[in-house]
Structure formats: C-alpha cells, structure tokens
Amino acid sequence: MKISSPAFVTNGNIPAKYTCDGQNINPPLVFEEIPANAKSLALIVDDPDSPSGTWTHWVLWNINPSVTGIQENSVPQGALEGVTGFKRSGWGGPCPGSGTHRYFFKLYALDEELTGLTPQSSVEEVLAAINGHVVATAELVGLYRRNRL
C-alpha cells in the first residue's frame, strides 16, 4: 500500500497553502495498492515534534477502500473526522512555533468498518478501535517550517 501527494514529496516541504500560514486546507493525497481484503481505510496526520507531545492534525476513518485518494480541501464521502489537537474535528494544518517539524500522514487498511465512534472521538479512541484490525499501513512524511520576519 502507498500514500503520496502531488503537492509535496516524501520528506519534502509541505506548501504553505496547506498550513496556518496559507489557506489551512488539507493537501491532496493519493492512495495506491490498497489490499483486496480491506473493508475501510483510516488516516491519521500528526506531528511528533510538537513541544507538548505528538499533536494530531487530522483523523479520518471509514474511508471507502475503493477511494484512490483525497482531493484538496475535501473529505471522502462517508468518511468521518475526529477531534484533533486543536480540539475540533477537521483538518488543522501545520503551524509549528519554531523549527522544522515533521508531519506523518499514516494510512491504515482495516478488515472492518469502525463503529461506535463519533465526530467527538479522539485519536486515542480511533487507535484503540483499529487495534487488531490493521491489514496494511503506508506513510508519507512532509516537513514544514514557518517563515517569520
């Protein structure tokens, strides 16, 4: 399984458009080689370099496994979004206080759809729900450093 973006390369810089310095919309993503036995996909985007601990920027689940990606500034039909480090659901773009941070886009293929989760569910609840149901994973890492005058 693979995840990539036409907006940036692995370990490359995420364009400011997708951050708090720009339009703060999600970047486009491409999914490839989804396992045939996948019943749903989940996506978690986080920043392990945050001084307060790993910061969640986006959490999505119940993405249809036939989906080949996510368009810019959109959520796949039927997918649900959970609460991020910003205390709300939906994309929260990179916005590091200082230095270059790494943003991990982690895609999970699951052997079932997740039930019992709501838009108020946390990333911890989503990770607990996918435990034991992951059939494949893929990862894309993007970098971002704010330009300050």
DSSP per position, the chain: -EEE-SS--TTEEPPGGGSTTTT--PPPEEEE---TT--EEEEEEEETT-TTS-EEEEEEEEE-TT--EE-TT---TT-EE-B-TTSSBS------SSS-EEEEEEEEEESS---S--TT--HHHHHHHHTT-EEEEEEEEEEE-----
Read off the pTM.
Answer: 0.96
What the chain holds in terms of domains, given with CATH numbers, is: 2-144 (3.90.280.10)
pLDDT digits (tens, 9 = 90+) for 106-130: 999 999 999 999 999 999 999 999 9
62-81 residue pLDDT tens: 999 999 999 999 999 999 99
Q: Residue 54 above 60 pLDDT?
A: yes
Band (147; pLDDT cuts 50, 70, 90): confident
